[in-house]
Structure 1
Amino acid sequence: MSRKILFITLITLLFLSVTTATASENVENAETSSSYIVVPSSNTEVGLIDTDAGILTVYDTIRQGETNLHGKYVGTGLTLLVVDLNWGDSTDSLRLKIYTPSGSVLGPYYDSADGAVNGRIRLNIQNSNGIESGTWKYEVYGYRVTGTEGYTI
């Protein structure tokens, strides 16, 4: 009987430690230090935002292990910034990091960051106190690419 109680106690402690570790990991991954909330964006939200609220559309290509950096100046008065990295080939995988003008890093984000694995990362960056004005930088990395992959951002 005491072995059974000991076994149940150990299993319970193991479960609690895993749950606590997962919860603290999720808190660490939250982007609270920069005061931005990053959420998936749906296609139905196009047109709700001024076209200048996101990066201008740029076409580029990338290979395995390569990093490309793109920038967009964002003015004052915005509370929402849309970022849309689209390569359309879900067999390849790109990674996106976003740098605020003051140097805070949002991400990294992968294909599934917007809730679907479809060769696209579409995100809304929100801050009710305002999006920081200045040059936002978008780092695209060829995480798992066969040959050359074209993309727009």
Structure 2
Amino acid sequence: MVVLLLCTASAVVSAKELSVSLPGNGGYTITPGHSTGIIPLTVYNSITQGQTNWESKSVSSYITTLNVNLNWGNPSNSLQLTIYSPDGYVFGPYYDSSDGVTDGRIDLTIQNSNGIAEGTWSYKVYGYSVSGTQTYSI
């Protein structure tokens, strides 16, 4: 199979943008998370209206639960989150209210009784409706 990417100086296409989601859910269930207390910052970044940032988390051992917590703390701005598993599944997009609360945070729990895929989980964070610049952690 040959893949041809055409890029100009003003538009670069990410390989993740070209990925195809596998059918079904791979045994994964995604539910609102219940993170409480201080959550260690994996990534701290900022985003503007219409901007896309790619973040990632490495899973290197057998686990059955993965917590994903995108937190920007300002419900007047809206971010969008799409999650890409290393075994080819795409989850989302998710918005502020996807976890049941509009609070400037998307808090999700991903579970798979067969185990969460080991490898790099990618998170596409999109500035869906942002006034100025919005900082976030994930």
The normalised TM-score by structure 2 is 0.78
- Which amino acid counterpart does residue 131 of structure 1 have in structure 2? I
Aligned to 1:108: 93
Say whether the 8 Å CA contact 1:74–1:132 is kept in structure 2.
yes
Normalized per residue, the structure richer in helix is 1
Amino-acid identity (%): 53
Deviation at 1:32, TM superposition (A): 4.2
Aligned to 1:21: none
- The yes-or-no answer on 1:40 pairing with 2:32 is yes
Say whether the 8 Å CA contact 1:63–1:148 is kept in structure 2.
yes
Tell me the distance in 1 between the aligned counterparts of 2:91 and 2:100. Answer: 17
Tell me the distance in 1 between the aligned counterparts of 2:86 and 2:105. Answer: 24
Question: Residues 89 and 109 (structure 1 numbering): CA distance in 2 closer, same or farther, change over 3 Å?
Answer: same
From 95, 104, 115, give the equivalent of 1:119: 104
Unaligned runs of 5+ in 1: 1-30
Aligned to 1:73: 58
Which of structures 1 and 2 has the larger relative contact order (alpha carbons within 8 angstroms, sep 6+)? 2
Say whether the 8 Å CA contact 2:32–2:100 is kept in structure 1.
yes
- Which amino acid counterpart does residue 27 of structure 2 have in structure 1? S
Task: Name the Cα RMSD after superposition.
Answer: 2.0
The normalised TM-score by structure 1 is 0.70
Once the two structures are superposed, what CA deviation does each residue of 1:4-31 show, in whole Å capped at 9, x if it has no partner? xxxxxxxxxxxxxxxxxxxxxxxxxxx9
- The yes-or-no answer on 1:134 pairing with 2:119 is yes
Tell me the distance in 1 between the aligned counterparts of 2:71 and 2:41. Answer: 13
Unaligned runs of 5+ in 2: 1-22
Tell me the distance in 1 between the aligned counterparts of 2:27 and 2:57. Answer: 20
Normalized per residue, the structure richer in strand is 2
Tell me the distance in 2 between the aligned counterparts of 1:56 and 1:116. Answer: 21
Aligned to 1:59: 44
